[in-house]
Structure 1
Amino acid sequence: MTITSGGVDVRTLAGALADRVDGEVRFDDGSRAAYATDASNYRQVPIGVVVPRTVEAGVEAIAVCREFGAPLLSRGGGTSLAGQCTNHGVVIDWSKYCDRVVSLDVDARVAVVEPGIVLDDLNAVLAPHGLQFGPKPATHSHCTLGGMIGNNSCGSSAQAYGKTDDNVRRLEVLTYEGDRFWAGPTSTEEFERIQRAGGRVAELYTALRDLAEEDGDLIRERYPRIPRRVSGYNLDALLPEAGFDVAKALVGSESTLVTVLHAELDLVPVPAARTFLVLGFPSIEDAADAAPTIAEHGPLTIEGLDSVLVDDQKTKRQNVEALHLLPEGGGWLVCEFGGDSKEESDAKAQRTVAALRERDVVPDDRAFDDPAHQKEILEVREAGLGATAWIPGRPDTWEGWEDAAVPPERLGAYLRDFGALLDEFGYENVSRYGHFGHGCVHCRIPFDLVTEEGIAHYRAFIGRGAELVARYGGSLSGEHGDGQSRAALFPVMFGDEVVRLFERFKALFDPLDRMNPGKLVRPYLPTENLRLGAGYGPKVDVELHFSYPKDRGRFDRAALRCVGVGNCRSHSGNVMCPSFRATNEEEHSTRGRSRLLFEMLEGQYRESPIEDGWRSTEVRDALDLCLSCKGCKTDCPVNVDMATYKAEFLSHHYAGRLRPAAHYTMGWLPVWARLASVAPTLVNRLARVPGVSRAAKRLGGVEPDRPVPRFAPQRFTDWFAARPPAPPAPLGDVMIWPDTFTDNFHPSIGRAAVAVLEDAGYRVVLPPGHLCCGLTWISTGQLATASRMLAHTAAALAAALGDGVPLVGLEPSCLAVFRSDAPELLPDDANVAAVAERATSFAELLLRTPEWSPPHVGGSAVVQPHCHQHAVGGFGADQALLDAAGVETTTVEGCCGLAGNFGFEAGHLDVSAAAAEHALLPAIRSAGADARVIADGFSCRTQVEQLGGTAGLTETSRPLHLAEVLALRLGARRGVPARVDRPGRVAERVPAVAVERALASDRVRQRS
């Protein structure tokens, strides 16, 4: 029987929770590992995790924990930077199911929500009514309202709308001891009503009133009057002049007092018009000095960013286009002004510029009306946390002193003193950015958190930093909360008497200290529970296949790369992370998988839930639903490349062991396709004999409801070999890479590419012999085989390409191998480097072809970029060609869900279909039954063909490659018919009933 250090009978607790709670009760090692840390420097492995399906189920979970005396904490998006979302207790994750808008009163501008609702999802519900929830942290796409309430979150828009506590009207809360009530402003009449009702709540309110009356003067004296005082409990909300507001007093308590069950929120109108202004100053200190002048003109936001942040993004090639939009300077303020009309918002901006021109330091100002440019510049600021982490050639940076706030009018002076303090401690290249209108500064600092000396240096620095903030009348935290990073420093800011008030306040709500113990009150020291800590040093005990050039060749650094910002938990924009969007599961997010890989390496040298290293079934199961889409390689702010990590893990996990059947069927697809080319018609017929087909699929690890793609009657390479030799062309030779998918399944794409390239003035050639890029071996983790194959292929291609011949990839995933995977697998192979340099996409080559323009195609199309195209090659050239061809495009953001072998593997249909339902299939439905669909990727086209029926796509509407779209119009331009149509009928479709069954599975939960 397992017993925690607190004496809790874990096995019996888990059983009771499973019996009594309507939800998912997870005490398995994989779940505990995934929730062992947040976005902070701290790590505490939880007892277990409960994911309630309803608020009432969460109430029951707390009742069970109370009976066992188990500590607990509530968790939202898990992006906390101070350690408040990690503890040795039962974690209640509200974000998967408890995310409803319970009620909405548009006229009163009030909404009641459950704690797990994501801010962007709430605002999407409010948008048709012209309303929004005011505070908007940078994590708005994935932070939950419960988490915002726990941390008293702010964001850039707090300049106009205040912190979360300024926008919370009432809270329904539950104490650990079982008292459930609605809290809010407490009038004399309300207080008397509570007293008449009697019981524990009446006693609590009496004690709270006594605290405010007895120590009100101390609270008034010691609490700084600044816009961003987030540190400490909100005892000032209990003062009579604040309306004795118990709800506001509980906001920002970081799950140490109560559990929030529902929140009644005040809403604000969305401005009808906005004006966007960027100001460039000589330095970030000069920018800070100007912020109070701007604040006088009622802006929505005043965001500061310095040259270090800009340089970091240049180094990492993030937001490159947006950086060119910034005016001259070494520090910038990004300001938004709102109004009922554009004239009103413009006038505010113009008055601001005029006022700034009266100052000694006059900024370079630039206004932006293009919403795309505005979005790009905001992303420069919102990318701060990720952009300042893992800078090539620099020491690693960490949180720990990243969000102090001072009076805005003193911010410039504070930044000068803070810069001097950084210099004194030898911390260089520290970016300082943040919410300058409210005096709040963000930064990541290169603390040494792996040696005794470095940790002592860190502790001394934050002590001095606290003294500096206190001298300026500021707050240790201006947004991210205190957690473990700052709570031990409370005496410096508040004094010992107020700290004792915090202890008294905590005891009123949680006398047994079971709510997130060790955080805020009687806190752990900032140097305890460090995720790294002195002696950190995991050893990778296998010979790696990939070179990990951005991580100094070390897999442990790759596993540590995730900073926990949680962009992979978003449900909108970009590609990352399709499996999280399908399941809403932490373990199936890029962040969750990173946590498990970290714990896998931890288990080699200290206690961890993951003890069996590369043989771990928990890590294998978490990676099983990774689609290897590579979306995270681009979309993750620190460029986690989970597809590569998955391939590396699988190679060692199955070393010397029998692999899953799918690894031998789909992993070796190029071999089977070559054999099938001997008699493709016979193979196609056998694959469609009902009994034979299902038996073969089960034996091969293939999803029974997935039709097997048909082999073409004639391969592209055979067609090309039968052509008469082409004469030399004006622009010379180009070599088309005849990938397995184009060659064997969709040869019409190859024929179309030949037609277009010849029209552009090239002579097309093919590589010699039978070569393969090894993609399917890479995706299934058969890396030794893939490396041998790539070395052979690269040698043959390098010789055949000669001087200056481009290698044109038609299949984005194969092109990504040449450009990314191959150089990382074989970094010292000169042939691989040469091929990578020559590899180009069809669109990229055409776009740089002189004196050629695409034929006019016209019409509209739904375009599904391949995920590897998004992550490695980019889609810009394709979009430019489509624009030049006159095609009006709706470009899908998100993965198609098939993702190579993933969607064909048994047990993956539910996640595959749910990923398609995220963006692809809805876009097709909106376009109509006869929509033109363009997709360069074989997986994307196959997914559309097989699931398109559920989107109403007709049998005749086949998805086309860009080459086919252009080639079909070449005939019209030349006045001759074009013969590039794909042979045979459209692929078979997954039965609609199978899709419905998959989408209704327990693992998949479609968000409304």
Structure 2
Amino acid sequence: MTAVSDHQRRSGQRTRLPLDAVAADLTSAVAGEVRFDPGSRAAYSTDASNYRVLPLGVVVPRTPEDAMAAIAVCREHDMPVLSRGGGTSLAGQCCNAAVVLDWTKYCHRMLDLDPDTRTVVVEPGIALDALNHELRSHDLMVGPKPSTHVSCTIGGMIGNNSCGSTAQAYGKMVDSVRRLEVLTYDGTRMWVGPGPEGLTDQLRDSLCDLADRYADDIRTSYPDIPRRVSGYNLDSLLPERGFSTAKLLVGSESTLVTVLRAELELVPIPAAKALVVLGFSDVFTAADAVPRVLRHHPAALEGLDGRLVQLEHSRHLAEQAIQRLPDGNAWLMAQFDGDTQDGADAAARDMMRAVQRHTGATATLVDDPEREADLWSAREAGLGATAYPPGGRDTHEGWEDAAVPPERLGDYLRDFERLLQRFDYESSSLYGHFGQGCVHTRIPFDLRTADGIARYREFVTHSAHLVVDYGGSLSGEHGDGQSRAELLRIMFGERVIDAFGELKHVFDPRNRMNPGKIVQPRPLDGDLREGSAYRPWEPATHFSFPADDFRFSRAANRCVGVGKCRGESGGVMCPSYRATREEEHSTRGRARLLFEMLEGDVITEGWRSTEVRDALDLCLACKGCRSDCPVDVDMATYKAEFLSHHYHGRVRPPAHYSMGWIPLWARLATTAAPIVNAVTHAPGLRRMIARAGGVDPRRELPRFARARFTETFTGDEDLAAASHGRVLLWPDTFTNNFEPAIGHAAAEVLTAAGFHVEIPDRTVCCGLTWISTGQLPTARRILKRTLRILEPVLREGIPVVVLEPSCAAVFRSDLPELLHGDEDAHRLAGQTRTLAELLAERAPEWSPPLIGGSTVVQPHCHHHAILHFDQDRELLAATGAEVDVLDAGCCGLAGNFGFERGHYEVSVACAEDALLPALRARSPETAVVADGFSCRTQIRHLLPEARPHHAAELLAAAIRGESP
């Protein structure tokens, strides 16, 4: 990759700043981490918005005092500063040519909790879900809950004045903030709260004067609606609002002060909840019904239209929830809280009867927590469903959260729909916090051509006038940033805009705090991530990327920045982020670096980039993002593609030759297994072998079987006795060479269920280890050979049962993308089954013997992401056992990853996150099931007493009446 990128040419080179001197001074002054390297700047170049600006550098403070020291250095060098939370802003608040303070790695502590007064003091980097988890034992929680609750931070929520569905009951973040410890750019540190307490005399006098002079303008210009988030909270300075400096600063988007600590007011967790879903003929009729529902005082009132549900169904999101929706083409979801379930149910039924009587809506009431969670997941899946509608144009934020008076919502939506049609835009969906008049949508703006960008500007300008005509706010949740700040004059008028400028000058006279946002804003069509000169490098690739128009650049630009990969619990994504809390080791951070690699501004070496290589190094290739990411980013595939090109024609790391070629070495080793095992486990020799193979010496190498499964399998010659016909049992490398007993157990189960079991007559391989190490040309050759060997099986449509989840995932996912267009590759993808899938589909009448007891299951990450675990859960439950399927994330070994030198600590940290604590907490008689060879190996290494088994072994033992 050569030449200067188009983005670099179109934007021009900024005057070179003395960044080396700044970085050196920061390093001397700050105990935390200072990063001005290209990789860090690339990882923080954008947020969840349409904008992209390379930061000057990144500081990761260890304490609030560390942040003070960093800002002091920035002040000496006149450097702008941006305080960043979870980086999920949709309006460009986190994009700036500034020194970025990332609070999330270290400053995420709960400092003081007073359950009696229901207050808590926290550092700004703590994520909302993490804080609520700590508060749960006291039956308390933070009131607002944005849809990004897994990753959004308290500091970010304060900066954006966040809301969420619970704002119906608890208000915006401004309603939860009691006091703030803040730092101005000039170095003034203070606790501010109700009244002028904590302010310097100068700040107090300036704010009082500002409030006196602009009081009437504020009262007349600020819309009296529940979801006004646009603009500064000047209304908090009014005497009737109590003159709260803390509340004034909420929603100021890091443009006035840096928040060091926050004191929040908490609310009790509702004792009981009931959810009513009302179905309507269209979204406008649903919106018309909002005032009638509000008369019953729901705790939450959300709306979603039929397009959102169709998109979720087509992308297999929240499918169980969709099946539970009542008839209709738009829905309102009304939650009622109560001290008892009977009380919550009664309130819900009263509303349901009243609304049905006057509107004829269909309805269903849900008070089961699991079903409620499913239905809320349908609402929260909105962004993932609407970003890339199948067969439609990509959609964008930019006008995604306007709010109007709830009683006027139906008429507003009709006028907004007409405006969309006038501009030839079709909204991907209309949904949101209808009870407070806030509407979310993503629109297929053309942000890559001059005409399209001009049309975008014209549309949002007309939209701003429409919202203001309805007495609404340009932003009802996401803030102004760069998307809407330029339009604030339409909403507030000249006088209030002047007041905004004066407020900015009071706190930040040098305009160094996140400049270009809210006051003196950058153009809403400037700094676009794409733009009219967007022309990324389009490299030739091994994978086809069919979901991205067969273009790697689209795959690298797929991430929309909502940061679900930065969650701290639940799901699989992203284990390396959970272990390191590093942005560049999240799925999102890696996607940013790949995007920047193709842009060429700051990552300039293309496939040879060491910054991208280092970011991908800790990717476990678990594929968790393939299923857990709202927009299906597939970092495991991107990593394999990158590694293939990065090491093309170069010497690879030793582990690529040892672990990457393990199918070959395993086949050779089993011919002399006793000798090989003795050598690889001899204390002195083991370390030498590990060092030569790039393996961490703390890892014990797996023992090779004395005889392969394919050598000892005899099968059953009586095909006629098999009531369900033939099946090919795939002898994967790990089952065949390390644990052949699993293969025999599976054959026993299949035979008992009425299948005639066969195995390939020649050595076969799925190429998994070559794929995971990026040796893709070799993997293609191996897969083509495998297809030739399986040709008769494929022609006859015989199911191929694969016991190792990662190998099955190769056939289902990697194979058709590596050999796209090869019909046999697509046939094998379609014929591949797990053991549970085959039994459910071909032998539904067969039930395993009852064994009872309890079983704890660790699903393999690839099983979770590609194959899904529902049928496996049902099969194990059919044994009569009490089955606990862990939601513990990745085991941390992940094939070759956990063996490689330099990965041991991260690998163990992943296991200790949730898996090992769950296994330690089980009762001794509880069986442990883990179908993945990596999972079993990790558990045996770190918790040998757990004795994990493959599900096939459990079932076969039950057939024999034995313990596994």
> Which range, TM-score by smaller chain?
over 0.9
For the residue of structure 1 that corresponds to 2:229, the secondary structure is coil
AA aligned opposite 1:735: L
Q: SS at 2:60's partner residue?
A: strand
Aligned residues: 950
Structure 2 unaligned segments of length 5 or more: list them. Answer: 1-11
Distance 1:494 1:398 in 2: 26
What are the superposed Cα offsets for residues 356-397 of structure 1, whole Å, 9 maximum, x if unpaired?
1342x3211101122221111101111111210112211110
Q: Deviations over 1:566-615 (max 9, x none)?
A: 11000121101111111111100000000000000000xxxx21011111
Superposition map of 1:10-89 within 5 A: 10-89=19-98
- 2:813 matched to which residue of 1? 820
**Is residue 947 of structure 1 aligned with residue 942 of structure 2?**
yes
Tell me, what secondary structure is at the counterpart of 1:678?
helix
CA contact (8 A) 2:124 2:260 kept: yes
Residues in 2 aligned to 1:812 and 1:334: alpha-carbon distance in whole angstroms: 38
Match of 2:686 in 1: 693
Contact 1:4/1:10 (CA < 8 Å) preserved in 2? no
Which residue is 1:771 aligned to?
A: 764
Whether the 8 Å contact between 2:26 and 2:70 is mirrored in structure 1 is: yes
Q: Give the equivalent residue in structure 1 for 2:467.
A: 469
Alpha-carbon distance, 1:932 to partner: 1.7
| Corresponding residue number in structure 1 for 2:826 | 833
Map of 1:958 onto structure 2: 947
2:450 aligns with 452
TM-score between the two structures when normalised by the length of structure 2 = 0.97
Matched residue, 1:898: 893
Local SS of the residue matching 2:671: coil
CA offset at residue 677 of structure 1? 1.4
Deviation for aligned residue 1:408: 0.7
* 1:346 aligned counterpart, secondary structure: helix
Contact 1:791-1:829 at 8 Å conserved across structures: no
Return the alpha-carbon distance in structure 1 between the equivalents of residues 924 and 56 of structure 2: 51
**Deviates further, 404-413 or 852-861:** 852-861
Q: Distance in 1 between matches of 2:227 and 2:427?
A: 26
The one-letter amino acid of 1:130's match is D
Residue aligning to 1:533: 531
1:992 corresponds to which residue? none
- Return the offset for 1:938: 0.3
Q: 1:602 aligns with which of 599, 602, 612?
A: 599
Q: Shift of the alpha carbon at 1:354?
A: 2.7
CA distance in 1, matches of 2:73, 2:854: 57
**How do 1:89-100 and structure 2 match up within 5 A?**
89-100=98-109
Cα distance between partner residues in 2 of 1:341 and 1:116:
35
Asked if the contact 1:298/1:348 (under 8 Å) is kept, the reply is no
Quote the Cα distance in structure 1 between the aligned partners of 2:313 and 2:34.
44
The range that moved more, 283-292 or 933-942, is 283-292
Among residues 375, 378, 386, which one is paired with 1:377 in the alignment?
375
Indicate the larger mover: 932-941 or 288-297.
Answer: 288-297
Partner of 1:999: none
Cα distance, 1:535 vs. partner? 1.6
Displacement after TM superposition at 1:720 (Å) = 0.8
**What does residue 170 of structure 1 align with?**
179
1:457-516 deviations in Å (ceiling 9; x for gaps): 000000000000110110000000000000000110001111111000000000000000
Counterpart in the other structure of 2:517: 519
1:995 corresponds in structure 2 to none
CA contact (8 A) 1:610 1:616 kept: yes
Aligned counterparts of 2:814 and 2:615: Cα–Cα separation in 1: 22
Q: Secondary structure at the match of 2:681?
A: coil
In the TM superposition, 1:90-489 aligns within 5 A as: 90-186=99-195, 190=197, 201-359=200-358, 361-489=359-487
Q: 2:747 aligns with which of 754, 776, 779?
A: 754
Q: What SS does the aligned partner of 2:917 have?
A: helix
Kept in 1, the 8 Å contact 2:349–2:365? The answer is no
2:928 alignment partner in structure 1: 933
Distance 1:66 1:732 in 2: 76
CA distance in 2, matches of 1:430, 1:140: 23
Residues in 2 aligned to 1:174 and 1:235: alpha-carbon distance in whole angstroms: 19
Q: For residue 197 of structure 1, what is the aligned residue in structure 2?
A: none
Q: Distance in 2 between matches of 1:800 and 1:238?
A: 76
Could you tell me how far apart the structure 2 residues matched to 1:580 and 1:227 are? 36
Q: Over residues 259-295 of structure 1, what are the superposed CA-to-partner deviations in whole Å (9 max), with x where a residue is unaligned?
A: 0011110111111111111010111111111112212
Classify the secondary structure of the residue corresponding to 2:95: coil
Task: Give the 5 Å matches for 1:987-1002.
Answer: none
Secondary structure of 2:505's partner?
helix
What is aligned with 1:558? 555
1:703–1:656 distance in 2 versus 1, CA, 3 Å: same
Which residue identity is paired with 2:850? H
**Structure 2 counterpart of 1:587:** 584
Contact 1:546/1:648, CA 8 A, preserved across alignment: yes
Q: Distance in 1 between matches of 2:753 and 2:682?
A: 44
User: Are 1:496 and 2:491 an aligned pair?
Assistant: no
Q: Separation in 2 of the partners of 1:867 and 1:751?
A: 24
Is 1:735 the counterpart of 2:695? The answer is: no
Equivalent residue in structure 2 for 1:919, among 901, 914, 923: 914
1:592-991 aligned at under 5 Å gives the runs: 592-603=589-600, 608-721=601-714, 725=717, 728=720, 729-848=722-841, 849-893=843-887, 894-929=889-924, 931-949=926-944, 954=945, 957-972=946-961
Matched letter for residue 785 of structure 1: T
Q: Distance in 1 between matches of 2:307 and 2:931?
A: 39
C-alpha displacement at 1:802, in angstroms? 4.6
> Separation in 1 of the partners of 2:744 and 2:906?
34
Q: 1:386·1:565 contact (CA, 8 Å) conserved in 2?
A: no
Give the stretch that moved more between structures: 556-565 or 15-24: 15-24
TM-aligned CA deviation for residue 730 of structure 1 = 2.5
How far does residue 349 in structure 1 lie from its aligned partner after superposition?
1.1
Amino acid in the other structure paired with 1:966: L
Q: Distance in 2 between matches of 1:357 and 1:812?
A: 48
Contact 2:716 2:757 in 1 (8 A): no
Contact 1:798 1:834 in 2 (8 A): no
Question: Matched residues in 2 for 1:241 and 1:856: separation?
Answer: 70
Q: Distance in 2 between matches of 1:99 and 1:619?
A: 27
Q: CA deviation at 1:203?
A: 0.3
Structure 1 unaligned blocks of 5 or more? 195-200, 982-1008
Contact 2:719 2:726 (C-alpha < 8 Å) held by counterparts: no
CA distance in 2, matches of 1:598, 1:358: 54
SS of equivalent to 1:474: coil
Does the residue aligned with 1:735 lie in a helix, a strand or coil?
Answer: strand
Q: Residue 120 of structure 2 aligns to a residue in which SS?
A: strand
Task: Write the distance in 1 (CA, Å) between the matches of 2:144 and 2:844.
Answer: 51
Q: 1:808 to 1:358 in 2, by over 3 A?
A: closer
CA apart distance, 1:322: 1.2
Map of 2:546 onto structure 1: 549
TM-score (norm 1): 0.93
Equivalent residue of 2:713, what SS?
Answer: helix
- Hey, what's the Cα distance between the residues in 1 that align with 2:819 and 2:130? 44
Q: Residues of 2 paired with 1:126 and 1:573: CA distance? A: 18
Q: Which residue identity is paired with 1:598? A: F
In the other structure, the counterpart of 1:985 is: none
Work out whether residues 623 and 634 of structure 2, in 8 Å CA contact, stay in contact via their aligned partners in 1.
yes
SS at match of 2:262: strand
Please tell me whether the aligned partners of residues 49 and 89 of structure 2 are also in contact (alpha carbons under 8 angstroms). yes
Displacement of 1:898 in angstroms is: 0.5
Deviation at residue 719 of structure 1 after TM alignment: 0.8
Equivalent residue, structure 1, for 2:9: none
How far off is 1:724 after superposition? 7.2
Q: CA deviation at 1:299?
A: 0.9
Taking the aligned partners of 1:56 and 1:545, their CA distance within structure 2 comes to 49
CA contact (8 A) 1:795 1:832 kept: no
Which residue is equivalent to 1:984? Answer: none
Hey, what's the Cα distance between the residues in 2 that align with 1:354 and 1:738? 60
